[in-house]
A and B are shown apart, each in its own frame.
Chain A
Amino acid sequence: MHIAEGFLPPLHALAWTGIALPFVVISARRINRLMRQQPQIKLLLAAAAAFAFALSALKLPSVTGSCSHATGTGLGAMLFGPSIMAVLGAIVLTFQALLLGHGGLTTLGANVFSMAVVGPWIAYGLFRAARGVNLPLAGSVFLAAMLGDLATYMMSAGQLALAFPDPASGITGSFLKFLGVFGPTQLPLAVIEGLLTVVIVNFLREYSGEELQSLKFLPETLAVEARS
């Protein structure tokens, strides 16, 4: 989902930067507030950021004979709420744009929007919906993390399609082409992201009951049960 440097026309690059910026600003405020109100949560926040850092660095092979990477943003979105992730994702993407030649500064806004805004919001929304209809915790986490990962790549395909409509079939045709590039490769990786996120959440449930409770991640009874 890293749109390479210069690969969005100036107007698109500017527009996505403008769209992503308020999310990052709100995210920074929310992180500040969270740190003030619940300083004991800092370590878990660092762990969620680290999860995204590690996963987005690993290029994994896919059944299509291509490589791609997971995003790791679903975990933090489910734990802390989706708006927290914009800053964390922006840090990862800036690091990669400046030091790894991966992504770019002109496309940073577009990439932040797909990976650090859309992915987390979809993951969070699906997680809440799944819990709302009483799906088990592990299943909800798996679905949310997996589909959040896929949503990020769909968004990237959409951004590229808007910038480069197919001369014959238009934006829709172009979207399907880009989706055809990202989608099949990403599918198994999204499953892997889902599995790894469940592993971490299972661990947290066993050892970090108090933190999960103060984040209202678990209903009271579950958290108590996990602590004992």
Chain B
Amino acid sequence: MKSLSFDLTVSLIAGIFVCLIVLPMLALFTTTSFGELVRQLKSPLVLSAVLISLETSLTVVFFALCLGIPVAYLLAMKDFKGKEILDTLVDLPICMPPLVAGLALLILLGGNSKFGGMLNNHGINLIFSKKGIIIAQLFVSIPFLIKSARDAFESINKNVINASLTLGASKFYTFKKILLPLARNGIYTGMIMTWARALGEFGATSMVAGCIPFRTETMTVAIYQNAMSGELAASTAVALLLLVFSFTLLLVFKSRVKI
């Protein structure tokens, strides 16, 4: 009896969790109809926001892979001075409020700073551009890839790596043929988390890139802008689309990859 009541309590708590996630999503559907949703999605402004979001978030995943995998490898496989500092730096963007991250990037990349000025002199302007969106999204989302890949690298049996080395393989060959395939699932998980975080990024993005329609307006920014200007139907359409993207991609990856 005791174990039955315990199971019931746990199930009830799980039910509360499901409500917490599902009810707000259902609320979105109550504000619109299917016809309205289709009409809104065909509007050039919404379509542009969707395309900008997809373009920037997928680019972020690519750059996160290029930068994050070597950092994850270093943290997982090597002992060096300053490892704890690097580890803390990886965690920092997760703890930092996105607005603070956006402000920091705005100051660094803006024309008034030395670095921003130097970039401007070379014709590179990152503020209020898609490149700025990518940098802001990368800043806040790359830790997810690094942490996930690091855990995956750390879980590999060290003797498997040593076996490859004793068979005559170089460290790079071992990385390519053993480490990457064995860490694959962890890296995929990191990619999904990074992509989801980049797609949903709002604070840092709006600080660095502003809300210029057809140029820097991402889906999250469009939701905010439309909701604030009373265009609830458009806001809901983008929000639902964002939900569908996240849900479908997670579902596809979960069915293809054992995460």
Q: Do A and B bind each other?
A: no
Residues in chain B within 8 A of chain A (CB atoms) = none
Residues in chain A within 8 A of chain B (CB atoms) = none
